[in-house]
Structure 1
């Protein structure tokens, strides 16, 4: 994939937004957030300037732009207006009118509404855009529109905790919560691999990362670069066996193939118990099975009540 390939720009836009999402969860008022969203927009502009001509790329561009607008609004609402705004509970009804006396969030709110409305049907199966439309409409005080958006998000992802919490806050019936995800169905539009890794970053910070890949082979390649290969390798950021031994730590592969249940593999259980090196036993996992139709490059998804972004390079 060349540096001027539109797909590369979309992946890099998604990577900037993935960094932004991490900061919003961990350090919601981080000053780097506006630059990250600006970089995502610049990458979207460059992708749009290159010939592509397909509906999937246009949809991805719309979703990435709407995500950047939502992140900008969320950052200003938290850092400047000092109001709650997150992907666990949503935000405050009419935060713009009640708490933002200077109107600093107004242009960002208008942009978030405009872009999420434009993108809400870009991927008719995914709950991300209706959720973010619900956030923007809640902040601007449109209870009915916010309720409709959150209900659509919940229709697409019945287990989404944020949409359900937001409807409860708006005093709108959310319906019965699914009993479990034991029979979870795959995303109906695209096939992909989702890698979930949860572990302590340090003594005080816990990271639960969900990353999208186009194939299982790409997951294996990625893990070969982040799992500790053993003594003599001192690269920073390696995931060690000790990290994955912590209570609650997780390393899980989820395969989505339309029309089939999600196939889940506990990779943590496939690590050696005594070996110094951290290597996964891939026996019985379909490494070479094509995942079709593929997820468009750069496309984020709403899964497990989280926004998930694709790996930058594969």
Structure 2
């Protein structure tokens, strides 16, 4: 489907930003993703709106970080933008249109998924860059209302010297989905984290086994210190089911790969009701899942 291909393209863009490699190709990838949404007849309107908001947010990031290099230290994944960066950072006045488009796309998608903080964060970033403090604060408040544990929204409010409200934990989301958080060691002291979202448990099994199958020449003993996989099942009206360490379900023998999880030991039922629409990203637990 077009929306699923668009999500893969957006995931590719995210990884290029995170790795700071291949960023010169991001513009073309975003254009292709937009064409996918344009051609997605009959697709879930909320998924399309959220995807367009993510495209516009990435175009703003591309504009400030890559094309014009006016970012003086803003880490998109950890911090809010410099307030009124459109005037304080952008002396050549080149980022305003991209920020306006990001705000417009976020406003159009703000109610697409009233349980996910992703779009309000897009809106907050764009408005903060444009110098609209009240609008940015309201957007970050909305992100925190949707997910009180979202540290990025809280950090952005603190940067704006705004009140950080304390909301009660929300009810479980109204749709079912499974997320897989992957941490891979990149140095002795650093781990890289990525998030993946699925609509069925079968998709998760294939993805997790694929990740372990790419573990190279590692021994089984080394595997524990190389990769971490956490599985969480979300279902409407129920508490989340968390399997914190899938790697411990990999048999100790054989000592070499490709490794496989012993799924019979993972006590998780599949999901069937109100499944998340295909091709939709999810922000949960401070991480964007593709």
Q: TM-score, normalised by structure 2?
A: 0.89
The residue aligned with 2:71 is 82
C-alpha deviations, 1:82-138, integer Å up to 9, x for none? 331402112110101111122211111111010001101100111000111000000
Unaligned 5+ segments in structure 2 are none
Q: Is the 8 A contact 1:93 1:140 kept in 2?
A: yes
- Cα distance change, pair 149–142 in 1 and its aligned pair in 2 (3 A): same
Distance (Å, rounded) in 2 between the aligned partners of 1:185 and 1:199: 30
Distance (Å, rounded) in 2 between the aligned partners of 1:136 and 1:29: 24
Give how far 1:151 is off. Answer: 0.4
Q: Is the 8 A contact 1:227 1:239 kept in 2?
A: no
Distance (Å, rounded) in 2 between the aligned partners of 1:193 and 1:29: 30
The residue aligned with 1:12 is 5
Q: Is the 8 A contact 2:46 2:113 kept in 1?
A: yes
Q: Is the 8 A contact 2:115 2:173 kept in 1?
A: yes
- Answer yes or no: is 1:305 the counterpart of 2:278: no
Distance (Å, rounded) in 2 between the aligned partners of 1:242 and 1:143: 51
Distance (Å, rounded) in 2 between the aligned partners of 1:11 and 1:226: 20
Q: Is the 8 A contact 2:177 2:200 kept in 1?
A: yes
Aligned length: 283
- Cα distance change, pair 44–237 in 1 and its aligned pair in 2 (3 A): farther
The residue aligned with 1:66 is 53
From 70, 80, 90, the counterpart of 1:100: 90
Q: Is the 8 A contact 1:270 1:280 kept in 2?
A: yes
Distance (Å, rounded) in 2 between the aligned partners of 1:270 and 1:123: 34
Structure 1 residue ranges (4+ consecutive) displaced by more than 4 angstroms after TM superposition: 184-187, 201-205, 236-243
Unaligned 5+ segments in structure 1 are 1-7, 179-183, 229-235, 310-314
- Answer yes or no: is 1:40 the counterpart of 2:25: no
Give how far 1:237 is off. Answer: 6.9
From 246, 249, 266, the counterpart of 2:225: 246
- Answer yes or no: is 1:160 the counterpart of 2:150: yes
State which drifts further: 274-283 or 120-129. 274-283
Distance (Å, rounded) in 2 between the aligned partners of 1:162 and 1:239: 37
Q: Is the 8 A contact 2:172 2:239 kept in 1?
A: no
Give how far 1:190 is off. Answer: 1.1
The residue aligned with 1:208 is 193
RMSD of aligned Cα (Å)? 2.5
- Answer yes or no: is 1:30 the counterpart of 2:42: no
